[in-house]
Amino acid sequence: MTWTIDPTVSINGTDYTSDTLNGVSINYGRSDIWEQARAGYATVQIINTTDAALSIALNDSVVIQVDDSSGTPVTLFTGKVQAVSNTIQYLGSIGKALIHNVTAIAPFADMARVITHTSGFPKEYDDDRLDRILTASGVTIDVVDTPGVYEFTASQASPGDCYYWASYYANMAFGYIYETTDGKVGYANESRRTVDAGLYGYTVIPGSTILWPSVNSEINLNNLLNDLRLEYKANASVTSTSASSIATYGKQAADLKTELEDATEAQLQADRYISLRSTPRTLLPNFTIQLDAPTMTNGLLDDLLAIYMGFPIEVNHFPLGIYSGDFQGFVEGWNFTISRNTATLNLNVTEKNLSLAPTRWQDVSPALIWSAVNAALEWAEYE
């Protein structure tokens, strides 16, 4: 495959592509499934050999694009300038060269500067609560998944920034907030990945495109939980435990405060936490793909350039000492590193069993028929 890598960097409508060095980096998402995504950001190095004053101001718009396999521009980042640092690369009798390092931020950063919850929230489902907060933040909303899954109790006023409250309630509903590469913010509820995997299946990433020294796995007790007390409406609580896990690893207890309205939903959540976290898992935190690898296909390149939080992937034939069996899971976060000569994509991933929620009939489209369900799906995904 032949692919022209040079990115297009536009700041406040001015094209800086010809002045960018080997230093375009783009970051989105989160490290793992137990946290919410942080604000996306990008860094760009610009060379200045004319000694002209830099006409880049804070809050200027920043758009970074590359061409896909067919030459069509694909947007990898949309944000605004947060900081500019300047250094001297060379200064002498024959000329000078300055380096301007531009850092741009994505919409979550703006959400953290807008205060909400200055008045009470009514009793409502997660979709209405997240839509309320995202609307108050002033961001452009991508999608807020409906119908709601979890009902939150009424909440008294407690002023705080929109990013905090959106993350707080998304966590409480086993969902997540995310940024899109064209500058929007959305909310994916706990069913989004189950639905996407059923509709689209998993994109297979061949081992021949992976930089194997970047691959590592680990197993630890950090996320172990086998005794949980979960609080919900009006200080009521439910509990869930795993006797076998306690016998094997010792008691690892936690108290989780929520604003869930319904006792049944609270118990379902407590049981799900124990089911997912009572046994240590071998984690495959991240790995790096060589986007310009000779074995990269046009179709896979285009899929990876359109990466998003929750993107379903499959990798076959990891060495058994790293990960046993084929990996199926979802992208949590990613980093593009792009230069004039090469481009890589580092993925933070989690296995599917941590993401796939039991199917609820409200998540199934009335138009769905069995012949439309991906043939590669297995019932085990929904156990």
pLDDT tens digits along 51-92: 777 789 999 999 999 999 988 999 999 999 999 998 876 666
Choosing from 209, 242, 277, the residue where a domain stops is 277
DSSP-assigned letter for residue 365: -
Least Cα distance to 43 among 66, 77, 92, 87 occurs for: 77
Binned at pLDDT 50, 70 and 90, residue 94 comes out as low
Mean pLDDT value of segment 317-323: 85
- Whether residues 92 and 171 share a domain: the answer is no
Q: Residue 82 maps to which CATH number?
A: 2.30.300.10
Tens digits of residue pLDDT in 275-315: 999 999 888 888 999 999 999 999 999 999 999 999 999 99
Same domain, 138 and 208: no
> Domain range spanning residue 300?
1-106+192-219+286-383
Instruction: Kindly state whether residues 272 and 344 are assigned to the same domain.
Output: no
Asked whether residue 81 falls in the same domain as residue 204, the answer is: yes
**Are 140 and 257 in a shared domain?**
no
The domain that holds 117 is classified in CATH as 3.55.50.10
The DSSP call for residue 301 is H
The encoded tokens of residue 40 equal 């996306």
Of the candidates 338, 99, 148, which has an alpha carbon nearest to the alpha carbon of residue 262? Answer: 148
Same domain membership, residue 60 and residue 5? yes
Q: DSSP readout, 163-192?
A: HHHHHHHHHHTT-EEEE-TTS-EEEE-TTH
pLDDT of residue 382: 34
Residue 354 per-residue DSSP state: G
Please give the backbone phi and psi of residue 169, each rounded to the nearest 5 degrees, phi first. Answer: -75, -30
In this structure, are 87 and 214 located in the same domain?
A: yes
Task: Give the residue from 293, 303, 363 showing the smallest Cα distance to 331.
Answer: 303
